[in-house]
DNA sequence: TTGAAAGCGCTAACAG
DNA sequence: CTGTTAGCGCTTTCAA
């Protein structure tokens, strides 16, 4: 009988107390005598009482659930972030609801609205590749709905953000490739508008500069949908193949594996001549062929930090005005 | 102003109607005149009214949310199943709550209890590798709580199940390897107790038999935690390395990639002599080294079917007694 | 066809 | 320290 559906009234009746007393006792209120508390607790324990979270939510205007919006859960980076988020949410008794945009701005908006109207207490989100208008998010925040951004963050909205040091990561990647002797280093990245694209591109340019290499726009390729849509990746890989690049820095999990796939299938000779470094949190890079150098983001930690900030904001007495931007270091995992 | 918090009362007041009339109009009740309905709908639309799902839940004793329990979302197979589940849940207006067991029976139980007491309307689950006692699940179902199992299903509980044709998949894998000339085919699999382990083992044996090969227990290795725990995989791979196996059939995503990793790191000569076929839904098998043959499960479809069965069961007027077992075909993706 | 009223299970102001 | 009461937003008898 591990699962029954008793209510506070049942306990009150059984113990000859009022429902409010039981409620207070269960919540360990200072107003209740130690004796009564013990009595109530013991009985609740005995019948395996579980408070009805829905009733509580209705009363408290709080659902104890938070929403996560990412482009794909089938992405190593995001699934690791989610693990991090869950680890803190679970400890603080928040339920977590995940939804995916598949890089569509429209689905993002639908998901936000859905999660908001379904009474989640706040949102953790990484913007979709397609997103340009974030004003509705700002409206929501202005109404007091907490949103914490991670990874792909909006430029303009005042909010907590948790990101990796993308610029440094990009720099490190290029530095590594240059050291290995590459002189024509290409860059394959996601949508122009994304914060991560901009930051990593900046790091890329810095890296080139530091090694006396020039920036050639023909070597910088964007995929509007992060390589998620059929064809866009093949297109830019084909364009790159026309150039004389000898190294490439790739910005993101999907792009990195996608690039390898296309190259293996269509350019199996050419690929041997290029050194590859990419942002990826895949746990199986060591079995990839050709071997690559991985730039890792501290995904789990990022999720933890973001969740902590969100819950803190949710539980804050007053509107948060003092927003934080947490920047976490990347690490470079050189190919063996 | 896309997001306001109006209630049914606000509409009633504005339109000089009673809350009950508004409620009925919004739900398109037959009792309400077409005129009133139109009036209410239009106004609701105008102010962007959203019903408070929590209040509705409390009243209806239904949360419009379903729980998913899997071992890891960072597993290609499971994340694809989840996509399938979400695709139907979304369409039927159910929220989806995901939780992970990390192959621990204890966490599984905690998650079940958590989801149950948080008023999800039903559960979709694949058992953890460690699970042996499922009686509490049966108790829950006996109380009328709907649970649909997929992939890793319990032997004894009467319930809807959605699985792949694991036996056939195992057979196909072995058949493929034998055709390629392997005569000493090993089998690397997960916990003994799991339904998928048993079924795939059976297929493996059938395959050997069909090719006149004998079953050698020394070539069959189990990982209690599906290769999730440090060391267990290295251990069995080492044991296998002592034998003269020339082909291997691996049962599962994590084990397949894990096997490749260990072999690449520790047995890079030996690995060239073995042909590999494994259950994996990874989308990047084509960049694995060495190349392998993949047995694919129709994960997305599995999720869809399971979700449909669950929602059907949730919304059924009476207790379901007529349980279905859906078996979906696997496909073999030969290495190039 | 509409309205009044009760109640889902819980919390909290107010009273005692 | 404990009880009474009202109410969160919604659905749903029952009555008009």
User: What is the per-residue pLDDT for A151?
Assistant: 98
Measured CA to C1', the nucleotide nearest B61 is C8
d(C-alpha B128, C-alpha B133), whole Å: 11
pLDDT on residue B319: 78
pLDDT score of A228: 87
Nucleotide closest to B18 measured between CA and C1': C3
Strand partners, A67: A97, A123
Q: Is the distance from CB of B303 to CB of B81 less than 8 angstroms?
A: yes
Q: Which bases in strand D are touched by protein, i.e. have an atom under 7 Å from a CB?
A: 1-5, 7-13
- Given a contact cutoff of 8 angstroms between Cβ atoms, the answer to whether B293 and B334 are in contact is yes
Please give the pLDDT value at position B16. Answer: 94
Residues 13-52 of B with CB under 8 A from A: 50, 52
- Residue A237 CB contacts under 8 Å (≥ 6 apart), including other chains: A188, A259, A262, A263, A266, A267
Does strand D come within 7 Å of the CB of B47? no
| B97/A97 touch (CB, cutoff 8 Å), yes or no | yes
Least confident among A190-194, A229-233, B87-91: A229-233
Quick one: three-class SS letters along B153-184? Answer: CCCCCCCCEEEECHHHHHHHHHHHHHHCCCCC
| Strand spans (E) along chain B | 65-70, 95-100, 122-125, 147-150, 161-164, 185-189, 220-222, 247-250, 275-279, 293-296, 325-328, 331-333
pLDDT at A311 over 90: yes
Q: Over chain B (336 residues), what is each successive 10-residue block's mean pLDDT?
A: 71 93 94 93 92 92 94 94 96 93 95 91 97 95 94 96 98 98 97 97 98 97 90 95 97 95 94 96 94 97 98 86 95 87
For residue A169, what is the enclosing H or E element? helix A166-179
Split at pLDDT 50, 70, 90, the class of A94 is very high
Which of A53, A76, A261 is facing B286, going by the closest CB pair? A261
Yes or no: say if A147 and A159 are a contact pair by the CB < 8 Å rule.
Answer: yes
Q: Are B183 and B154 in contact (CB under 8 A)?
A: no
Q: Are A50 and B260 an interchain contact pair (Cβ–Cβ within 8 Å)?
A: no
| B16 is near strand C: CB distance < 7 Å | yes
Number of Cβ within a 10 Å radius of residue B111: 24
Under the banding of pLDDT at 50, 70 and 90, the label for residue A55 is: very high
Distance of alpha carbon B222 from alpha carbon B233, whole angstroms: 9
Which residues, in sequence order, are bridge partners of residue A100? Answer: A70
Q: Which two tokens stand for residue B298?
A: 């129709």
State pLDDT tens for residues A25-42.
Answer: 999 999 999 999 999 999
Q: Which residues pair with A220 in a beta bridge?
A: A187
The answer for residues whose C-beta is within 8 angstroms of residue A239's C-beta and 6 or more apart is A221
Partner-chain contact A97 B99, CB within 8 Å: no
For A189-211, b/e burial (b = at least 16 CB within 10 A) is bbbebbbbbebbbebbbbbbeee
The minimal CB distance from A140 to the residues B3, B113, B264 is found for B3
Closest partner residue to A260 (CB to CB) among B50, B53, B287 is B287
* Residue B35 CA distance to nucleotide C1 C1' (Å): 11
Residue A74: closest C-alpha in chain B: B79
Task: State the distance between the two ends of chain B, measured CA to CA, in whole angstroms.
Answer: 56
Reduced to 3 states (helix: H, G, I; strand: E, B; else coil), residue A237 is helix
- Per-residue confidence (pLDDT) for residue B267, from 0 to 100: 95
Give pLDDT, residue B286.
Answer: 94
Task: Write down the pLDDT at residue B4.
Answer: 52
Query: Residue A247: in which H helix or E strand, if any?
Result: strand A247-250
Write out which nucleotides of chain C lie closer than 7 A to a protein Cβ: 1-5, 7-13
CA A253 – CA B74 distance, rounded (Å):
13
- CA–CA gap between residue B31 and residue B37 (Å, rounded): 10
Angstrom CA distances, B329 to B168, B170, B297, stand at 8, 12, 7
- pLDDT exceeds 70 at position A100: yes
Residue A288 CA to residue B286 CA, distance in Å, equals: 9
Q: Which nucleotide is nearest to B50 (CA to C1')?
A: D9
**What pLDDT, on a 0 to 100 scale, did the predictor assign at position A4?**
52
Bond prior to B290 in cis (omega within 30° of 0) = yes
Strands A293-296 and A331-333, bridge-based pairing: antiparallel
At A70, which helix (H) or strand (E)?
Answer: strand A65-70
Q: How far is CA A108 from the centre of its chain?
A: 14
A117: distance to nearest CA of chain B, Å?
A: 7
A316: CB within 7 A of chain D nucleic strand: no
Pairing of strands B293-296, B331-333: antiparallel
pLDDT band at A195 (very low <50, low <70, confident <90, very high): very high
Q: Is the pLDDT of residue A261 over 80?
A: yes
Q: Any chain B CB within 8 A of the CB of A288?
A: yes
Q: Answer whether A119 touches B (CB < 8 Å).
A: yes
Question: In whole angstroms, what separates CA A155 from the centre of its chain?
Answer: 17
Angle at B235 between CA B234 and CA B237, to 5 degrees: 65
At residue A119, what are phi and psi to the nearest 5 degrees? 70, 35
Banded model confidence at residue A155, pLDDT cuts 50, 70, 90 = very high
A8-15 vs A19-26: helix crossing angle, rounded to 10: 110
A47 touches strand C (CB under 7 A): no
Q: What are phi and psi of A11, to 5 degrees?
A: -65, -45
Q: Which residues contact A136 (CB under 8 A, 6 or more apart)?
A: A109, A112, B2, B3
Q: How far is B206 from chain A (nearest CA, A)?
A: 31
Average confidence (pLDDT) over A184-197: 97
């Amino acid at each position: 009988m591990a699962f029954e559906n008793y209510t506070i009234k049942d306990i009150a009746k059984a113990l000859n107390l009022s429902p409010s007393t039981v409620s207070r006792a269960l919540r360990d209120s200072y107003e209740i005598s130690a004796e009564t508390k013990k009595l109530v607790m013991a009985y609740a324990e005995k019948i395996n009482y579980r408070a009805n979270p829905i009733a509580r939510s209705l009363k408290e205007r709080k659902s104890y659930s938070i929403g996560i919006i990412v482009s794909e859960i089938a992405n190593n980076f995001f699934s690791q972030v989610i693990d991090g988020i869950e680890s803190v949410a679970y400890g603080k008794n928040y339920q977590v609801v995940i939804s995916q945009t598949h890089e569509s701005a429209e689905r993002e908006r639908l998901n936000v609205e859905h999660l908001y109207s379904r009474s989640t207490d706040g949102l953790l989100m990484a913007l979709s590749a397609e997103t340009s208008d974030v004003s509705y998010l700002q409206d929501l925040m202005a109404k007091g709905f907490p949103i914490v951004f991670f990874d792909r963050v909006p430029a303009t909205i005042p909010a907590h953000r948790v990101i990796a040091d993308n610029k440094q990561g990009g720099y490190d990647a290029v530095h590594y490739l240059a050291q290995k002797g590459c002189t024509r280093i290409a860059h394959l990245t996601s949508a122009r508008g994304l914060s991560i694209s901009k930051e990593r591109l900046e790091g890329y340019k810095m890296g080139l500069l530091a090694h006396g290499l020039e920036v050639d726009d023909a070597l910088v390729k964007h995929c509007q949908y992060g390589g998620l849509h059929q064809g866009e990746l093949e297109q830019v890989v084909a364009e790159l193949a026309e150039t004389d690049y000898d190294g490439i820095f790739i910005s993101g999990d999907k792009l990195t594996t996608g690039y390898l796939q296309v190259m293996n299938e269509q350019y199996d000779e050419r690929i041997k001549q290029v050194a590859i470094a990419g942002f990826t949190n895949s746990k199986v890079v060591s079995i990839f062929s050709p071997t690559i150098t991985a730039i890792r983001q501290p995904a789990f930690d990022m999720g933890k930090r973001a969740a902590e900030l969100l819950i803190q904001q949710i539980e804050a007495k007053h509107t948060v005005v003092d927003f934080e931007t947490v920047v976490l270091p990347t690490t470079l995992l050189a190919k063996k």
